[in-house]
Amino acid sequence: MTYQMTFRGAAVPAEPGQSVGAALVAAGILDWRTTRVGGRPRGMFCGIGVCFDCLITVDGVPNRRACLVPARDGMTLGDDAGDTVGREDGDAGHV
């Protein structure tokens, strides 16, 4: 059974057990946000939840680590501007 997610208006397939980040990379999508300073593209880097490069909005919730979020059927994925990093509740503290 293949799941269907939506990213930037396009359908993205995902397999059960796959992370959102893995599904995006498998679909050829290598970046989905830009850095706050310099606007550099970011996507998967470490793949284990340490670096926070893969932040993405999932079903309206910002700052989720794409490498850790399990793919589900019907998910809507969006861009994250990179303004808040470090905590999933969106509080960047003194970053």
**Could you give the CA distance from residue 73 to residue 21 in angstroms, rounded to a whole number?**
14
pTM: 0.82
Boundaries of every domain in the chain: 3-78
Decide yes or no: CATH 3.40.50.300 for domain 3-78.
no
Residue 84 has pLDDT above 50, yes or no: no
Give me the sign of the Cα torsion angle 47, 50, 56, 61: positive
State the number of CA atoms in the 13 A half-sphere of 13 facing the CB: 6
Average pLDDT over residues 56-73: 97
Instruction: Please state which of the ranges 24-28, 37-41, 83-87 shows the lowest mean pLDDT.
Output: 83-87
* pLDDT of res. 79: 73
* pLDDT of res. 42: 95
Average pLDDT score, the chain: 87
> Residues 31, 7: contact at Cβ < 8 Å?
no
Residue 31 has pLDDT above 80, yes or no: yes
